[in-house]
């Protein structure tokens, strides 16, 4: 979460993605990840996401938080105390979260194995209605552990192992009020500031490049779109202008390293004859953009990794041609060597 009570210092956190449900909603999300016994991975990682774009990062090997977008660097340069605050929280949180994971391991009698504790928190703001929602939840070893219910201002423990933590945290009324204030008031103020400062980047529209991919002739054909922004998009296959649902596998929307997104939808053609391929096309639709990107199913444009198959006659012809060329080269080499050993050309003999 973003802030805590006096006995628990503010946390700077967040990691990866969730999807915005509306075109007018903005989100500020944090994740904190602490690891134990995980080789070749930092013991602490923190990141900040604004509208699903990573804008900040730190880990236990860094002395200061690092802005990840140019507009966020500009904001931090104009307000150095903002960066200092995040850097301080990064350092302070490492120690508190280290204590969390050590305490859990001890209470659950866990030793020696790899364990991961995560905390996801933040807020969403609808810039049309003004509605604000906050969230704060923990996960342990890939499963939900404990979640804050802002309506009842109590903690919910889906796992029996978290019940002791729930009772202790429910009893800390000051911390609960701090959680509510920070998620409903402070977090949205930060979010509005970031959205205003990064509006050119965050409110842009980027269309994707769309390709048809296939691993083998018997594999499904994947319609793959990459480089689009924002992530409010959909993609589907059609036959004769009607959306196809059978033999179709929709992939998730995933982030690219540059802040854009990618997605794919696969179509199995095992029951489709080659003559019917022309009846299919792939449609990509980006929310807020009037024109869809339509890609016809065409064998000629499918990209594949498979090795091309050549006709047997062509292969035999190539081999024979290479053998003839080899004989000519050897004969020429033999004549050249004789001439260089004292033999003269025929027309020069006496």
Q: What is the DSSP code string of 62-96?
A: -SS-EE-SHHHHHHHHH-HHHHHHHHHHHHHHHHH
User: What is the pLDDT confidence band of residue 258, given thresholds at 50, 70 and 90?
Assistant: confident
Of 167, 202, 237, which residue sits at a domain end? 202
Residue span of the structural domain in which 195 resides:
25-202
Per-residue pLDDT, averaged over 232-254, amounts to 95
Q: pLDDT digits over 169-201, tens only? A: 999 999 999 999 999 999 999 999 999 999 888
The number of CA neighbours under 13 Å toward the Cβ of 52 is 21
* Assigned domain for 11 exists: no
State how far the Cα of 343 lies from the Cα of 86, in Å rounded to an integer.
88
What is the chain's mean pLDDT, rounded?
82
Q: Of 322, 172, 310, 297, give the one whose Cα is nearest residue 238.
A: 297
Q: Same structural domain for residues 144 and 274? A: no
Q: Is the pLDDT of residue 328 over 50?
A: no
* Assigned domain for 350 exists: no
* Assigned domain for 148 exists: yes
* Assigned domain for 328 exists: no
**Total number of domains constituting the chain:** 2
Q: What is the CATH number of the domain that holds 269?
A: 2.60.40.10
Q: Is the pLDDT of residue 335 over 80?
A: no
User: What is the pLDDT confidence band of residue 321, given thresholds at 50, 70 and 90?
Assistant: low
* Assigned domain for 50 exists: yes
How many other C-beta atoms lie within 10 A of the C-beta of residue 220? 18
Q: Same structural domain for residues 74 and 195? A: yes
Strand partners, 91: none
pLDDT of residue 140: 93
Choice among 100-114, 184-198, 274-288 with the minimum mean pLDDT: 100-114
Q: Which two tokens stand for residue 25?
A: 């909603």
pLDDT of residue 40: 87
Q: Is the pLDDT of residue 314 over 80?
A: no
């Amino acid at each position: 979460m973003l802030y805590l009570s006096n006995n628990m210092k503010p946390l700077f956190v967040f990691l990866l993605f969730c999807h915005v449900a509306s075109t007018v909603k903005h989100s500020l999300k944090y994740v904190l990840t602490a690891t134990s016994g995980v080789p070749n991975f930092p013991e602490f990682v923190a990141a900040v996401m604004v509208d699903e774009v990573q804008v900040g990062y730190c880990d236990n090997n860094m002395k200061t938080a690092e802005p990840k977008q140019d507009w966020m660097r500009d904001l931090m340069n104009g307000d150095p105390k903002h960066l200092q605050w995040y850097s301080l929280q990064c350092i302070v949180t490492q120690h508190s979260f280290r204590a969390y994971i050590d305490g859990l391991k001890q209470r659950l009698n866990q030793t020696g194995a790899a364990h991961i504790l995560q905390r996801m928190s933040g807020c969403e703001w609808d810039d049309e209605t003004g509605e604000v929602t906050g969230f704060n939840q923990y996960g342990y070893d890939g499963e939900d552990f404990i979640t804050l219910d802002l309506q009842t201002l109590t903690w919910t423990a889906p796992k029996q192992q978290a019940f002791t933590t729930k009772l202790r945290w429910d009893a800390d009324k000051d911390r609960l009020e701090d959680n509510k204030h920070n998620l409903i008031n402070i977090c949205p103020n930060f979010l509005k500031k970031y959205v205003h400062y990064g509006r050119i980047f965050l409110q842009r529209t980027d269309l994707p490049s769309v390709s048809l991919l296939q691993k083998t002739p018997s594999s499904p054909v994947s319609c793959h779109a990459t480089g689009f922004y924002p992530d409010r998009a959909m993609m589907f296959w059609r036959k004769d202008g009607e959306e196809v649902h059978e033999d179709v596998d929709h992939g998730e929307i995933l982030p690219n390293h540059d802040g854009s997104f990618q997605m794919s939808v696969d179509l199995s053609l095992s029951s489709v004859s080659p003559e019917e391929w022309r009846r299919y096309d792939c449609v990509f639709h980006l929310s807020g953009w009037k024109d869809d990107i339509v890609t016809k199913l065409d064998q000629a444009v499918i990209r594949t990794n498979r090795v091309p198959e050549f006709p047997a006659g062509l292969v035999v012809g190539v081999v024979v041609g290479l053998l003839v060329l080899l004989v000519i080269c050897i004969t020429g080499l033999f004549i050249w060597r004789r001439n260089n050993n004292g033999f003269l050309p025929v027309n020069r003999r006496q």
